[in-house]
Amino acid sequence: MTINQFVIERFHLAFRAGLINRFGEIPTASKLAIEFNLRNFQSNPISRESARKWINGQSMPETARLKALIGWLNLDAAFIYSTTITEKASIPVAIDSQKNMAKVEAYERRKIEGLAQAALNFVSPLTAVLNTEGIIILVNSAWRSAAMLYPKLKGGSLGCEGVNYLAVCEKAMGLGSEEANKVASFIRAVIAEHSKTFTSKYPCHSNGDKRWFEVKVSAYKHLDDVCCVVTHMPITEATFKKKKLIGQPLRK
C-alpha cells in the first residue's frame, strides 16, 4: 500500500465518522454536495459525483477543500496524514503514535465487521447470531425487516441487536408460543453442547396469509468464543405443494 492509498483510507474513515457526527448518518451524495457548497461558497463548488467518491473512499479532496472539511466536520488531520512507509513488507505502514495505532486497529475491526455484516445480508434466510447468553449480537437485513413488520416484536425493538432472543422465545404466549418455546430449548441445547444442530418446521400465519418456516439452530466456535446461529427459512411454497399432493388441509 502506498502512502497516498493509506492517506485516502484514513481520510475515508475520518470523513465518514465526521459525517455521522454531523448528520447522524451518512448523507446522500446530493445532500453532502449541497451542504458543503452552502458553507464554502468562496471555493469551487463540488459536484454530486465528487461527493459520492469522497463518501465511497474512491478519492479525497484537494488541500483547500480538505481544510474546509476538517474545520466543518472537526476531522483529525494528524490521524489522516501521520503515516510513513517502512521497509518490512509484513508491516506496510508505521504509525507514529499509540493513539493513532489504536485508531487504525479500530478501523480494521470496523472493516471486518462491515464485511461480516455484508456477508450476512447476502444470506437469504432470516438470520441472527446470539452469544452464549442468548442475546442477539448481529442480524441480517432479512431478519431486521421481518422483525419490524411482526406486531409482537414491537417494530423490531424486541427482535434485533441487544435483545435476549432466548428470553423472548421462553416468554412467548398465545398463538405460536409452542414453537417459540421449542426454539428456546434448541438454543439452550446448542449453547450447552456447542456442536448439535436442530431444525423444526412451523406455521406462522397472519392477516389471512398462510406461511410456513423452517427454523435451524446451530453453533460455531472461533477460538474461545461460541455463538449460536438462528435461521428462519421460508418454506411456504414447498409446504403448499406437499400438502396438496397428499390431500391435507392447509390450516397448519
Nearest Cα neighbor of 123 from 100, 101, 103, 139 is 139
Work out the average pLDDT over 128-145: 86
Work out the average pLDDT over 216-221: 86
Confidence category of residue 156, pLDDT binned at 50, 70, 90: low
Q: What is the pLDDT of residue 30?
A: 93
Dist. CA 82–CA 211, nearest whole Å: 56
H-run or E-run covering 231: strand 225-234
Q: Compute how many other C-beta atoms are within 10 angstroms of the C-beta atom of residue 196.
A: 12
Nearest Cα neighbor of 205 from 242, 168, 174 is 174
Q: What is the pLDDT of residue 13?
A: 77
CA angle 170, 119, 30 (to 5 degrees): 110
pLDDT tens-place string over residues 22-81: 777 788 999 999 999 988 766 678 999 999 999 888 888 988 888 888 888 877 777 676
What SS3 class is residue 154?
coil
Q: Compute how many other C-beta atoms are within 10 angstroms of the C-beta atom of residue 204.
A: 18
Nearest Cα neighbor of 134 from 178, 175, 176, 180 is 180
Q: Compute how many other C-beta atoms are within 10 angstroms of the C-beta atom of residue 23.
A: 13
Q: Look at the pTM and tell me if it is higher than 0.95.
A: no
Q: Compute how many other C-beta atoms are within 10 angstroms of the C-beta atom of residue 109.
A: 10
Confidence category of residue 118, pLDDT binned at 50, 70, 90: low
What SS3 class is residue 247?
coil
Dist. CA 175–CA 198, nearest whole Å: 22
C-alpha cell at 48: 454530486
Q: What is the pLDDT of residue 109?
A: 64
Gyration radius from the chain CA atoms: 24
* Phi, psi angles (nearest 5°) of residue 212: -130, 150
C-alpha cell at 239: 409446504
What's the DSSP call for residue 7? H
Dist. CA 57–CA 187, nearest whole Å: 40
- Contact (Cβ atoms closer than 8 angstroms) between residue 130 and residue 137: yes
| 140 pLDDT higher than 80 | yes
Domains, the chain, ranges and CATH? Answer: 3-98 (1.10.260.40), 120-246 (3.30.450.20)
Nearest Cα neighbor of 2 from 60, 66, 86, 76 is 86
pLDDT tens-place string over residues 160-199: 888 899 998 998 887 778 888 999 999 999 888 876 789 9
Nearest Cα neighbor of 33 from 18, 53, 14 is 53
Least confident of 26-40, 88-102, 219-233: 88-102
Q: Residue 249, exposed/middle/buried by CB under 10 A (0-12, 13-18, 19+)?
A: exposed
C-alpha cell at 199: 431444525
Q: How high is the mean pLDDT of the chain?
A: 75
